[in-house]
Structure 1
Amino acid sequence: MRSDKQIEKKQRIKWLKRLSLILGLLLFLIFGIIAGYYANEVREFLTDLNEETPEELRDTSKQDDSLRDLHPISFLILGLDAEGEGDTRRSDSIMVATVNPGKESTKILSIPRDTLITLPNSNEQEKFNAIYPIDGMTGLIDFVEDYLTIPISFYVTLNFEGLVDLVDAVGGITVNSPLSFTVQDSDETADAIVIEEGIQDLNGEEALGYARMRKQDPRGDFGRQERQREVIEAVVDELLSFNSVTNLTPILNAIRPNLQTNMSGQQMMTVASNYRDAAKNIESVELSGAAEYVYFPSYGHDLYVWNPYEESLDEARSTLREHLELDPSSEENSADEINN
């Protein structure tokens, strides 16, 4: 009797082991199929992001050595507004990010779009956000490199209108609003979006309104820049969560038409895997300055502009150069330094 029970117990254990093995193989096959499907989808997605890059900016292979050796890199990040006449877009948000994997930190400088500058080719005065529609991405990168005396490794453009689909695809985001306000939605319905002061969950439409409102913020463009950075960081947090992995297809579909970069697919994967820790510590580099109204002959009237204090601009330049491990006091040949 006892022997029969032992035999039965051994058979049951043997059967459970076989069942576990079968289930394990099934799970392995299922995850393999899913991984293969997503790998192909991700590969196509990464290719699409590079599709509209200007020809002169396509070859970024000179950055491969820097990425492989984990050197600091820099990004020019543009938030683009709605298309205007002739399919031109002005840069609604202009940010420069330096990423240092050794220090495990990222620094972000926001350049106010109303910053007064002199166009290099015509010597005419303009606002910073006019460079992109006038000289394109190549001209903007060249100008930013000269303006901040740092090299730009890569660029990324984000259509803020695409935030609606992206935020909805990740299931919404959580923000901590410093003030209460109402703002129109993407259909221009007045006061359609209500933002309360404090911590709250936002859907796509609400996140877009939260990121773009400026007139009701006492800090003006600076307050909006902070909220835009907060939204971007919240979206990144959601994208890195497990729920986003299981909801990959709608996320990729939301990003695909709204994001553009000159990074290759392999470079994106390298940064995502090897520079990840640097994204956990994001610091803002502040610019101080003063606002005024300046007469623009090309427009025939005065326009609101913002001028950074020279001491503040120099300090920002030194901070970014030091973070990129360049000589903070040397501002010559900056475009070549990061590759050496």
Structure 2
Amino acid sequence: MRKFIIIFGSILGVLFIGVVGYGFYLYNSVTKTVEQIHEPLERPISDKRDKEVNMDDQEPLSILLTGVDSTGDTHSGRSDTIIVLTVNPKEESVKMLSIPRDTRTELIGRGEQDKINHAYAFGGIQMTIDTVENFLNIPIDHYASINMEGFKGLVDALGGVTVDNAFTFEQGGFTFPEGENFMNGEEALAFARMRYEDPRGDFGRNDRQRQVVDAVIQEGAQFSSITKVGSILEAVGGSVRTDLDLNSIWSIQSNYKEARHTVEQMEIKGNNATINGIYYLQVPDEEVVRVSQELREHLELEHSTTASSQ
């Protein structure tokens, strides 16, 4: 009996050392990845807030997601995808708004009207944030930017994602039937980029982008993703940039994770316009105010009736 206890204790000791060792490895890997992707903003908080969001108190916050049309580990180019997330942990809900890349608005820092996705090319994430804040009259508290090539690696690292497709179409050599589709990274990127076969054009494309982002969020939150953490961190490290540091990431994971169960996809509408031979999406002031008020309410901010200059 004593021999059995000694053997059993030894096995438990080995297992404990293994778990602690893996935990230490995991912590170090996460820390190194966060240091690699961390790029703080020039300003500490949005000038559209009186004070910084207190994550420990579960105050609502906003995150700007941009997908940059670049390859490798570069983050230069135009923002192919612009999505605003507002997260209200008390309501356990997320609102997800896609801003069409051809939306005409003032680019803050250049003093001219142009397509909103040009802000990234001219002034990177800082000009993009300033421009989105001005356009929607909301604070952007944090950002995460991913290059589109790296996006494929992230989806593959997660083991793929499942998305419900509204209608059958072909894109990039793939066929996407109507209904539920399980996709690898290359397929997910092709699915998100299609617009010419969609009768809704860029609006339909924006819907698919939000679907894929939501699928990545949901898949990443699954317990099974823990076993894939090495490949996930590798994909993230080479393709993502964010102002969130390790403490902020832990705070979001601890205090905001339940909000992912209710994700509402929003749409901003506009009219086609050709100005000096260039195509734009012109969004009416009243539509900007409508969307702005909905987001401000979700962020528990006062309503505002102002709209940006179009």
Q: TM-score, normalised by structure 1?
A: 0.81
Counterpart CA distance in 1 for 2:123 and 2:30 is: 32
Look up the SS of the partner of 2:34 in the other structure.
helix
Q: Aligned AA for 1:324?
A: L
Structure 1 pair 172/322, CA: closer, same or farther in 2 (3 Å)? same
Structure 1 partner of 2:265? 284
Structure 1 partner of 2:234? 253
Structure 1 partner of 2:291? 316
Measured after TM superposition, the shift of residue 35 of structure 1 is 0.4
- Rg larger for: 1
Structure 2 residue 34 is matched with structure 1 residue 46? yes
Structure 1 pair 122/151, CA: closer, same or farther in 2 (3 Å)? closer
Structure 1 pair 87/236, CA: closer, same or farther in 2 (3 Å)? closer
Measured after TM superposition, the shift of residue 136 of structure 1 is 2.7
Q: Aligned AA for 1:210?
A: F
Structure 2 partner of 1:179? 167
Measured after TM superposition, the shift of residue 123 of structure 1 is 4.7
Structure 2 residue 7 is matched with structure 1 residue 32? no
Structure 1 partner of 2:59? 71
Equivalent of residue 252 in structure 2, options 271, 278, 286: 271
Q: Aligned AA for 2:248?
A: Q
Look up the SS of the partner of 1:312 in the other structure.
helix
Measured after TM superposition, the shift of residue 271 of structure 1 is 0.7
Fraction of identical pairs, as percent:
37
Q: TM-score, normalised by structure 2?
A: 0.89
Structure 2 residues not aligned, in runs of 5+ = none
The count of aligned residue pairs is: 302
Counterpart CA distance in 1 for 2:75 and 2:155 is: 25
Q: Aligned AA for 1:180?
A: T
RMSD, matched Cα:
2.5
More helix as a share of residues = 1
Structure 1 pair 329/88, CA: closer, same or farther in 2 (3 Å)? closer
Measured after TM superposition, the shift of residue 90 of structure 1 is 0.5
Structure 2 residue 157 is matched with structure 1 residue 169? yes
Structure 2 residue 309 is matched with structure 1 residue 328? no
1:60-209 aligned at under 5 Å gives the runs: 66-82=54-70, 88-120=76-108, 123-184=111-172, 192-209=173-190
Look up the SS of the partner of 1:246 in the other structure.
helix
Look up the SS of the partner of 1:325 in the other structure.
coil
Moved more, 307-316 or 215-224: 307-316
Look up the SS of the partner of 2:199 in the other structure.
coil
Q: Aligned AA for 2:167?
A: L
Measured after TM superposition, the shift of residue 236 of structure 1 is 2.0
Tell me if the contact between 2:69 and 2:147 (Cα under 8 Å) persists in the aligned partners: yes
Counterpart CA distance in 1 for 2:305 and 2:86 is: 18
Counterpart CA distance in 2 for 1:118 and 1:38 is: 44
Structure 1 pair 34/121, CA: closer, same or farther in 2 (3 Å)? closer
Measured after TM superposition, the shift of residue 18 of structure 1 is 5.1
Structure 1 partner of 2:11? 23
Q: Aligned AA for 1:212?
A: R
Q: Aligned AA for 1:171?
A: G
Measured after TM superposition, the shift of residue 227 of structure 1 is 0.9
Tell me if the contact between 1:64 and 1:267 (Cα under 8 Å) persists in the aligned partners: no
Counterpart CA distance in 2 for 1:110 and 1:87 is: 20
Measured after TM superposition, the shift of residue 194 of structure 1 is 2.1
Tell me if the contact between 2:136 and 2:292 (Cα under 8 Å) persists in the aligned partners: yes
